[in-house]
């Protein structure tokens, strides 16, 4: 059989929900050998790898499961699976926090991330949810990408929120400054700053971001209340590098994970919270203005296991 | 950096094995565990990793260790060769239609880089003395049309946005755009489309209808190099729905190892034609399988080191 044929066969198997598959494996392993064994752990490993959790975090989680299994004598498939889920949810919950409450108005939210991760859309969704017209001001600090300002402006018009803009190519830090000042002058409760996408390895662009952060701090008298890394759920292990390097330029307060309405599971978030103790604060579940939700660890883990959707599950 | 790790780990594996002799099964298996780790860290889909490892194993066991290489280098060479082979043969550019214009449709997930890549391809074709036109087929994303128009001005090519009859219908807008471009003497037409999730049946249906209307000669899936395991599902679904002719891997200018390329290539069997290396319209390059293989292994330029050994 050719490489491609074999791969196709493996994938066909993959198509039936893997929770069922895992449950079968767990049941089989427990019946035959009466304990959580290496074969079972290998199967669970694959499942977690497929969700982009990453090898290092997977190994740590499964080691914890192994210990728990021998200490508590986990016997039934449901016990094993729920122990695993509890472990994962606990990892995520440990650092969980809701959006900051600013000491005084305006609160400032700075959105950062690589190209195309969903910053602009998230900025618009957030502006709408934080009260929309009269309560929020959007700052178009992406002065680089083609029609980035127009994109945010269309959103602003749609949700009735003013957008502070300058012409293409101008200094993004100056736009950030203007936005904070405008928010204060107009008595807005929040200013949400959209920034240009950039890859975390571009040091000059990362300095530009650090400058935006400094200028906001100067204008506000305190650092921006939220500095959120906007992460595409379909990202793989590079997500960790993103969190590390963006965090070096601007100390992050959390993550916003977008595009969770697809089949991407966003497992890298586990590795990121483990290593950097960053909470997930928001999740994006669509392209519409209402498709932004607070993060819920339990729901997230269910979806990590391919069960249910994130959408509306918090209700 | 990653290469350092893989090569060091392999050296540790082979510590007892001197520079000569054959690679034994046990040595190879131990070495392959390290290779597996490297491939997974590079985001190659775990099922692809499994298949790749089997092939590598078959090739490595019993192989004579060349006197010029250490066993660690020998294994890396085999792995790299195998990945290069799986990544596809010599570079393939755009397949031009015998009868111009060549219509090129770009599709993919939200934010993968379709609009930018359309402009980059137009830039490239123009450099080659052709007359490319751009067509806006994304009527959903706010200011998507404006984005394409700004890029078209940067490149210096016409951009068609569909006549009034299109009235918010993306299929119609694309079809009218292609018709207008053809009429105005374009010899290549690049059709940008809206980003969509492969599980969104309605949007996939729209894409199929667009294809049926504009009859593209090339259907390119634009894939972000930072994509994780999902790359395989995405590529498979777009392949099934759209019969892709090739792939474009974007955002390779960062530190993503780009295992997504291998997953997508493996599951579609389609060549990766170009890679995006930056945000500017001139930052698009032909794809090189050997470079991608080295990158996935985290080897970078260390490749030359092996060749010199
Ligand atoms: N399905 C889905 N699409 C999303 C979500 N969030 C954003 N998008 C889409 O992803 C694409 C990119 O979103 P943007 O908000 O423009 O991303 P960005 O990070 O601002 O991009 P750059 O400014 O170019 O770096 C758009 O097509 C959005 O509609 C989400 O939660 N789900
Ligand atoms: N660094 C880098 N950025 C890129 C590359 N290709 C595209 N981008 C950026 O990625 C972001 C998304 O690109 P777009 O071309 O808008 O992506 P798209 O697929 O058209 O997005 P939607 O239409 O929203 O689905 C933009 O910020 C681009 O500038 C690349 O090769 N390298
Ligand atoms: Mg943006
Ligand atoms: Mg686009």
Q: What is the ipTM, given to two decimal places? A: 0.94
Task: At B224, give phi and psi (nearest 5°).
Answer: -75, 130
Integer-rounded Cα radius of gyration of chain A: 22
Q: Which residues of chain A does CATH 3.40.50.300 include? A: 107-295
Q: Which of A13, A17, A115, A287 to mutate to test the interface with B (most CBs of B within 10 A)?
A: A115
State residue B229's pLDDT score: 97
CB of B132 closer than 8 Å to CB of B218: no
Token readout for B241 is 């729905």
pLDDT score at A15: 45
Give the residue from B151, B155, B228 with the most A CB atoms within 10 Å of its CB, the best one to mutate.
B228
Ligand nearest to the CA of B108: 2
pLDDT in tens, chain B (309 residues): 455 677 777 777 777 665 557 778 888 888 899 899 999 999 999 999 999 999 999 998 888 777 767 788 888 889 989 999 999 876 789 999 999 999 999 999 999 999 999 999 999 999 999 999 999 999 999 999 999 999 999 999 999 997 666 778 999 999 999 999 999 999 999 999 999 999 999 999 999 999 999 999 999 999 999 999 999 999 999 999 999 999 999 999 999 999 999 999 999 999 999 999 999 999 999 999 989 998 998 875 455 445 544
The predicted structure's pLDDT at residue B300: 59
Return the biggest CA–CA distance within chain B. Answer: 75
CB-closest option in B47, B151, B260 to A236:
B260
State residue A235 phi and psi, 5-degree precision. Answer: -70, 145
Selection from A265, A260, A305, A254 nearest residue A283 by Cα: A260
What is the A264 CA–ligand 3 centroid distance (Å)? 21
Place of tokens 């292990």: A237
Strand extents, DSSP E, chain A:
107-112, 136-141, 163-164, 190-195, 226-232, 254-258, 280-284, 292-294
Of the candidate CATH numbers 3.40.50.300, 3.40.50.150, 3.20.20.70, 3.40.50.2300, the domain formed by A107-295 belongs to 3.40.50.300
Q: Which of A235, A253, A248 is nearest to A109 (CA)?
A: A253
As a CATH number, domain A3-93 is 1.20.120.140
Q: Which residue of B has its CA nearest to A152?
A: B142
Residues 6 or more apart from A217 whose CB is under 8 A from it? A223, A224
Contact call for residues A19 and A307 (beta carbons, < 8 A): yes
Closest CA to A162 of A189, A135, A184: A135
B267 closest CA partner among A12, A44, A262: A12
Nearest CA distance, A245 vs chain B (angstrom)? 11
Residue A58 vs residues A43, A273, B37, B81: alpha-carbon distances, Å: 12, 13, 12, 29
Q: Cα of A31 to ligand 2 centre, how many Å?
A: 51
Question: Where in chain A do CATH 1.20.120.140 domains reside?
Answer: 3-93
Among the partner residues A115, A152, A234, nearest to B279 by beta-carbon distance: A115
Do B251 and A115 count as a contact with CB atoms less than 8 A apart? yes
- Per residue in A80-125, pLDDT (tens digit) is 888 999 999 999 999 999 999 999 999 999 999 999 999 999 999 9
**Is the separation of the CB atoms in A65 and A38 below 8 Å?**
no
Testing ligand 2's pocket by substitution, the residue of A111, A114, A116, A119 carrying the most ligand atoms inside 8 A of its CB is A116
Per residue of chain A (315 residues), what is the pLDDT tens digit? 566 666 566 555 444 455 566 666 677 666 666 667 787 888 889 989 999 999 999 999 999 999 998 898 887 777 888 899 999 999 999 999 999 999 999 999 999 999 999 999 999 999 999 998 899 999 999 999 999 999 999 999 999 999 999 999 999 999 999 999 999 999 999 999 999 999 999 999 999 999 999 999 999 999 999 999 999 999 999 999 999 999 999 999 999 999 999 989 999 999 999 999 999 999 999 999 999 999 999 989 988 876 644 443 332
The burial of B244, by beta-carbon neighbours within 10 Å (0-12 exposed, 13-18 middle, 19 or more buried), is given as buried
Atom 17 in ligand 1: which residue has the minimum CA distance? Answer: A118
Q: Which of B143, B86, B147, B139 is nearest to B118 (CA)?
A: B147
Q: Is the beta carbon of B193 within 6 A of some atom in ligand 2?
A: no
Model pLDDT, residue B299: 72
Ligand 2 atom with the smallest distance to the CA of B113 is 17
Q: A220: helix, coil or strand?
A: helix
- In terms of C-beta density within 10 A (0-12 exposed, 13-18 middle, 19 or more buried), how is residue B218 classed? buried
- Ligand 1: residue whose CA is nearest its atom 7: A118
| Chain length of chain A | 315
Whether B41 and A7 lie within 8 Å, measured CB to CB: no
Could you identify the residue written with the tokens 């590598």? B56
B40: enclosing H helix or E strand = helix B25-41
Does the annotation place A259 within a ligand binding site? yes
- Taking the mean position of all CA atoms in its chain, how far away is CA A313? 17
């Amino acid at each position: 059989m050719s490489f491609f044929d074999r791969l196709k066969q493996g994938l066909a198997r993959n198509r039936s929900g893997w929770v069922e598959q895992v449950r079968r494996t767990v049941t089989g392993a427990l019946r035959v050998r009466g304990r959580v064994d290496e074969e079972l752990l290998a199967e669970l490993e694959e499942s977690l790898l497929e969700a982009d959790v990453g090898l290092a975090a997977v190994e740590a989680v499964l080691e914890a499961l192994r210990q728990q299994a021998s200490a508590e004598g986990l016997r039934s498939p449901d016990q094993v699976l729920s122990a695993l889920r509890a472990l994962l949810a606990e990892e995520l919950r440990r650092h969980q926090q809701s959006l900051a409450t600013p000491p005084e108005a305006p609160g400032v939210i700075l959105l950062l991330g690589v190209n195309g991760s969903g910053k602009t859309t998230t900025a618009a969704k957030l502006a709408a949810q934080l009260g929309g017209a009269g309560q929020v001001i959007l700052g178009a600090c992406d002065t680089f990408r083609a029609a980035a300002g127009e994109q945010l402006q269309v959103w602003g018009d749609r949700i009735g929120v003013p957008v502070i803009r300058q012409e293409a190519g101008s200094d993004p830090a100056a736009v950030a400054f203007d936005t904070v000042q405008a928010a204060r002058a107009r008595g807005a409760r929040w200013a949400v700053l959209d920034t240009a996408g950039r890859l975390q390895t571009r040091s000059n662009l990362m300095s530009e971001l650090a400058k935006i952060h400094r200028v906001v701090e100067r204008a506000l008298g305190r650092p921006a209340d939220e500095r959120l890394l906007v992460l595409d759920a379909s990202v793989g292990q590079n997500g960790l590098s993103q969190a590390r390097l963006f965090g070096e330029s601007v100390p992050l307060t959390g993550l916003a994970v977008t595009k969770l309405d697809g089949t991407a599971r966003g497992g890298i978030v586990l590795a990121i919270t483990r290593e950097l103790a960053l909470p997930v604060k928001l999740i994006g579940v669509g392209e519409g203005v209402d498709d932004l939700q607070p993060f819920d660890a339990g729901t997230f883990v269910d979806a990590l296991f391919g069960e249910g959707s994130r959408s509306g599950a918090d209700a | 950096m990653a290469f350092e790790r893989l090569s060091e780990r392999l050296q540790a594996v082979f510590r007892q094995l001197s520079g000569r002799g054959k690679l034994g099964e046990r040595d190879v298996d131990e070495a392959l565990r390290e290779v597996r780790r490297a491939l997974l860290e590079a985001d190659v889909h775990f099922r692809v990793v499994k298949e790749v490892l089997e092939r590598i194993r078959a090739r490595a066991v019993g192989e004579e260790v060349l006197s010029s290489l250490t066993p660690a280098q020998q294994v890396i060479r085999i792995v790299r060769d195998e990945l290069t082979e799986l990544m596809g043969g010599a570079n393939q550019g755009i397949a031009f239609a015998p009868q111009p214009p060549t219509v090129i449709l770009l599709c993919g997930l939200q934010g993968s880089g379709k609009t930018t890549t359309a402009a980059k391809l137009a830039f490239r074709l123009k450099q080659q003395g052709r007359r490319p036109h751009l067509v806006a087929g994304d009527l959903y994303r706010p200011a998507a049309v404006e984005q394409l128009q700004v890029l078209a001005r940067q490149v210096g090519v016409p951009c068609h946005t569909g006549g009034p009859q299109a009235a918010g219908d993306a299929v119609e807008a694309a079809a009218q755009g292609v018709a207008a471009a053809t009429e105005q003497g374009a010899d290549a037409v690049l059709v940008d489309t809206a980003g969509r999730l492969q599980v969104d049946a309605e949007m996939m249906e729209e894409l199929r209808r667009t294809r049926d209307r504009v009859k593209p000669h090339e259907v390119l899936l634009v894939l972000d190099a930072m994509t994780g395991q999902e790359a395989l599902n995405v590529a498979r679904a777009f392949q099934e729905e759209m019969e892709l002719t090739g792939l474009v891997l974007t955002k390779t200018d960062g530190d993503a190892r780009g295992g997504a390329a291998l997953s997508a290539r493996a599951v579609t069997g389609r060549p990766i034609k170009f890679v995006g290396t930056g945000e500017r319209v001139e930052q698009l390059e032909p794809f090189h399988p050997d470079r991608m293989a080295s990158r996935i292994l985290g080897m970078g330029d260390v490749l030359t080191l092996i060749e010199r050994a």
